[in-house]
A and B are shown apart, each in its own frame.
Chain A
Amino acid sequence: MNRFTDGSWNPAIFDLPLSSWRERFLGVEEIQASPSGDAAAAIVRLGQEGFTVCVNGETWPEPYEKLWHLRYAPDGRLVALGSREGEWTVVVNGVAWENRFSFVWNPLFSDEGGRIAVAFQQDMAYGMAVDDVPWEESFPNLTHPLLSPDGASCAAVVQTEPLNEGDIFKYRQGIYTAAVGGRPWERRFMNAWSPAFRPDGGSLAAAVRLGPSDYTIAVDATPWEETFACVWDPLFHPQRRTVLAPVRRGGSWWLAEDGRILWDRPFVQLWQQRVSADGKRIAAVVAPSFGRWTVAVDGRPWKADAGEMVSDPCFSPDGGRLAARFKEAGRWTVAVDGRVWNQRRGMVFSPVFSPDGSRVCVRFKDKGRFGYLLDDRPWELAAEAAWDPVFSPDGDRLLLRSLEQGVFRRRVLPLADFGKV
C-alpha cells in the first residue's frame, strides 16, 4: 500500500490525490478514510470484471462481481461485502472469508475492531457469522444483528418457526426470541426488538411484546414482572449490571431500571438513554412537553431545548460532560452541558470529546460542503467530504481527514491552529 503519511501525531499535512482514480476506473464510489487517516479507499468499477477496492491507489488483487458496504474497522482493517458466482462473503483487506453465503449484510465490529460479525442468509436460512465462523443453528428469519462490545458474543432477534403469511394466530402464540451465539432463548415472544449486551457480553436484554399491547424487557429470556403499554430499547448499566429502558405508562414515558420506575418524572418522550463510563450519571433524550426536545440528566431536563430534534447524546470519556445534537428551524447545532452553541449548520455529525472532556469538536455539512466546529468555533474547509475529528491521546492535537478538490488530506494540528492551516 502506498504510504503517503508518517502515521504519527506530529503536526503535518499529507495529501493523497485521488483524481487519477476517476481516470483509472469506470466509477469510484464513496471514499472511506481509515481511522488513522493513513489510507483512503473506495469501491471502484472495473468494467467487465466487476468491482474491486482501491486503497491509496492500489487495488485489491481479486475483482468481485459486486462489492458493497466498504468500511474501516476500528483496528484499521478494511472490510467489504463481495460476491462471486452468485455467492457472497466478507472480504477483509482483500482476503475473502472461506465461508460463502447466499447473502451477507450488516457487518459489525467489536469496539476495538478485533472481531467482525455479519448476518447471513444461506438457502433461505438465516444466521450470523463471526470471524468466518457461522452459527451452527439457522432460522427462518433474523433481524437486529448485534455484536458484544468485546466481540466475544453475537446475538440477534430470530424467528424460530416458519410462518405462513396470513397466519395471525400462530404469530400471536410467539415465534420470535433472541438468539445468542446461535442458541435461541427458551422463551418465545410475540415480538422481540433491539437486543443489547451487557458490556462484558455475559448477559442480553431485549424489548419484547408479550401480547398485542403488553410490552416489557426480557433479560436472558426472563421478562420483567412489570408490563407496560410500550417500551424502547434496553441498555445495561455498566456498573450496577441492571437494565435501563424507557417505558410507557399512563400515556407518558418513564425511565425504568429492572422494571421499576427510576426517574421521578415522566416525559412526553424519552429515549436514547446513555450511562457515563463511570456509571455515575444517566442521560436521555426527552421531550418535556409536546414538540420540545432536550436532554435530561438523572431525570432533570436541560433548560435549553429544541423544537425539531435532539439526538445522539454522548458523555465525555470521564463522564463529566455531555453533548448532544440539537435541531431547530431546520438547522443543526451542538449543545454541551445544557448550553447550545451559536454556530448552526445544515447538518452536524456526532460530537467528539477530547480525552479529558474539555474540548468538543464536530464535523458539519452545509450546502454540500464540509467543515468542523471546535467548541463552537467554525472552520469552513469547504471540503467535498470529511470524517469525524480524532483527538490525540494527550488531547493537544486534532487529526482531521477530508477530501478537498479531489485530494484526500490528513491533517494533524495543535488545537491552537484550528482554522488556520
Chain B
Amino acid sequence: MTGSKTPPPAKTVDEGLERGIAGLTEERIRRIIRRVLAGETGARLKAYVDTCIHCGLCSEACHFFLSRDRDPAYSPVGKVKQTLWEILRRDGRVSPDFIKEARIIASTHCNLCKRCAMYCPFGIDVAYLMLVVRRICHLLGVTPLYIQDTAHSHAATLNQMWVKDDEWIDTLMWQEEEARGEIPDLRIPLEKEGADILYSVIGPEPKFQAQLIYQAAVILHVAGVDWTMPATPGWDNSDMAMFVGDNELMGRLKRAHFETAARLRVNRIVMGECGHAFRSVYDVGNRWLGWSMPPIPIVHAIDFYHELLEEGRIRVARRFEEPVTLHDPCNVVRGGGLHEKARAVIRRTCAQLIEMEPNREHNYCCCAGGGVINCGPPYKKHRVESNRVKAEQIAAAKLKGAKVVITPCHNCHSGIEDIIHHYELGVETRFLGDILYQVMEKP
C-alpha cells in the first residue's frame, strides 16, 4: 500500500475475519475468484476496469479521502487498486491476508454511496466494483462478525434484528395500544387483505425504535389511509445480505417482502425512512429476482409525506420553529431523486431550512451506509474519523443557525448521531416523521 499518507487503521480484531481466513487456502481463493469473475461478472466489470485511465478525478468525491487528509489509499480508485486490480493482476492468486484486507476496504472503507460515479468523467461505478469484492469475500466466508450476524438473522427470521414472529406482532399491538392513549380509535390493522397500502419498516424499528411505528400509525390514521401491516415475516424491508455479498439471501428477503405485499393484495408499499432498504427493494434486490422495477410500487416515506401534505390529508398545526438543516441520504437522493420532495416537506413543516453545502445529489454520505455501521464497534472510530467533512458541513450549518439535522434515513440517522457526538457538534438529529408527527394537526 505504498503512497498512502496515513498508516492503515490500528489493526482491529474481528473474529469474523480472523476465523474466516483461518481455513482458507490460496487454491480455494483462486477457485472462488474465478467462479465470480467468470460466472457472475461481465460487461460492466470489463468496461469499468478497461476504461479507467487512473486519473484520480473520483478522489474528491469521497468523504473518506477528504476526511483522511487526501490519503490516496482512500480514494475510490485507490480502493479499487488495492482490491480488484490486484485480484485481476494476479489472476486470483492472492493470500488469505489479502482477502482480509480487501474485505476491510470493500466493507468498511466504502459506503457504496455512488458519489464517485458523479465525479468520474466516465461514470465508472466503483460501488459496483466494491460489491464484486464483497461478493468474493462472502463466498470465501470472510465477513465482519457483526454484519454477518445480522445477515444470519435475516436468514433465520427474515428480519435484521432477530425479531421473532410473535415479538413483531406483540410490538405492533403494544404501539397500537400506546397510540390509542392519544387517538382512541386508532388501529394498526394487521393482515388486512385488499388494503391500499402495506406499511413496511426495518428490523430496528420494532427492536429499538417502536415509537417510530407509533408515529407512522398516527400519521396514517389521521390521513385516513387504508393500510395494513403483515403478521408474518416479510415485513422487514431492510437488507444486510445485499451488503455482505450474499445475493441469494438478498433475493430470499426481497421475494418474501414483495410476496407478502402481493398476498395482502395491496396496491403500494410505503416504507419508513430508510435509505439502504429503498435501494434494496427499488433497484438491487428486485433486479436479482428478475423484476426490472419493483413489482409493487415502493413509496419512500419522504415521497409519502410529500403526497399527504400536498393532497391536504395531513395539515400542519404549527411549524417546527427551530432552524433545521437537511442531510440528503444517498440512497434516496442519488438513488431515488427525492431531494426536492424532502425540501418541500420541510418547507411545509419547518419554519427555516438552512442548507448544508454541498447538497442534493452532491451531498456527502453519512459514512454509516452501505453496511459500514453494521460492521459494528470494531470499525466505529475509523468510521467517524472518516467523515470529518460531514462534521464540517454540519458545523457550518450550525454556524448559520441550524439546531436540528433532519436525516430521513435510519443509517444516516445513526451515523450522523455518531458524528455529532464525536465532533461535539451540539445539534440534534430528527427523522422527517418525528417533525411531521410533532407539527401535524391531530384530532
* Contact surface of A with B, Cβ cutoff 8 Å: 26-27, 29-30, 66, 68-69, 102-103, 105-106, 119, 121, 126, 141-143, 159, 165-169, 171, 176, 190-191, 193, 209, 212-213, 215, 229-230, 232, 248, 250-251, 268-269, 271, 287, 290-291, 293, 307-309, 311, 327, 330, 346-347, 349, 365, 368, 370, 385
- Residues B265 and A349 in contact, CB atoms below 8 Å apart: yes
- Residues A250 and B39 in contact, CB atoms below 8 Å apart: yes
Chain A, residue nearest B170 (CB): A103
CB-CB under 8 A from A102, the residues of chain B are 166
CB-CB under 8 A from A29, the residues of chain B are 187, 189
Chain B, residue nearest A157 (CB): B156
Chain B, residue nearest A156 (CB): B165
- Residues A176 and B156 in contact, CB atoms below 8 Å apart: yes
Chain B, residue nearest A250 (CB): B39
Q: Give the distance to chain A from B387, nearest Cβ to Cβ, in Å.
A: 25
Point out the residue from A126, A168, A193 that lies within 8 Å of B149, measured CB to CB: A168
Closest 5 CB pairs between A and B?
A291-B292, A269-B290, A309-B295, A287-B290, A230-B248
Q: Which of B1-9, B74-82, B126-134, B225-233 forms part of the interface with chain A?
A: B225-233
Q: Give the distance to chain B from A232, nearest Cβ to Cβ, in Å.
A: 8
CB-CB under 8 A from B165, the residues of chain A are 105-106, 119, 142-143
CB-CB under 8 A from B16, the residues of chain A are 168
- What are 14 A-B residue pairs whose CB atoms fall within 8 Å in the complex? A27-B187, A30-B189, A30-B192, A68-B190, A69-B231, A105-B169, A141-B157, A165-B149, A166-B145, A212-B246, A230-B248, A232-B255, A248-B248, A349-B194
**Contact A307/B292 with A121-B164, A215-B248 known, Cβ cut-off 8 Å:** yes
- Residues B292 and A212 in contact, CB atoms below 8 Å apart: no
- Residues A311 and B262 in contact, CB atoms below 8 Å apart: yes
**Contact A166/B185 with A30-B192, A119-B165, A230-B248 known, Cβ cut-off 8 Å:** no
**Contact A290/B290 with A26-B185, A271-B255 known, Cβ cut-off 8 Å:** yes
- Residues B166 and A166 in contact, CB atoms below 8 Å apart: no
Q: Please name 4 further chain A to chain B contacts, defined as beta carbons within 8 Å, in addition to the given A168-B149, A307-B292, sorted by A numbering.
A: A166-B149, A213-B246, A271-B255, A311-B259
Q: Give the distance to chain B from A185, nearest Cβ to Cβ, in Å.
A: 16
Per the bound structure, the CA–CA distance linking A368 and B155 in Å amounts to 36
Chain B, residue nearest A103 (CB): B166
Interface residues of B in 194-222 (CB under 8 A from A): 194, 196
Point out the residue from B139, B191, B251, B296 that lies within 8 Å of A69, measured CB to CB: B191
Per the bound structure, the CA–CA distance linking A384 and B166 in Å amounts to 31
CB-CB under 8 A from B44, the residues of chain A are none
- Residues A347 and B146 in contact, CB atoms below 8 Å apart: no
- Residues A27 and B162 in contact, CB atoms below 8 Å apart: no
Q: Give the distance to chain B from A79, nearest Cβ to Cβ, in Å.
A: 13
Per the bound structure, the CA–CA distance linking A248 and B169 in Å amounts to 33
Within 8 Å of chain A (Cβ to Cβ): is B293?
yes
- Residues B248 and A143 in contact, CB atoms below 8 Å apart: no
Q: Give the distance to chain A from B69, nearest Cβ to Cβ, in Å.
A: 34
CB-CB under 8 A from B196, the residues of chain A are 368
Q: Give the distance to chain A from B175, nearest Cβ to Cβ, in Å.
A: 13
- Residues B157 and A213 in contact, CB atoms below 8 Å apart: no
**Contact A365/B157 with A68-B173, A106-B232, A168-B145 known, Cβ cut-off 8 Å:** no
CB-CB under 8 A from A327, the residues of chain B are 295
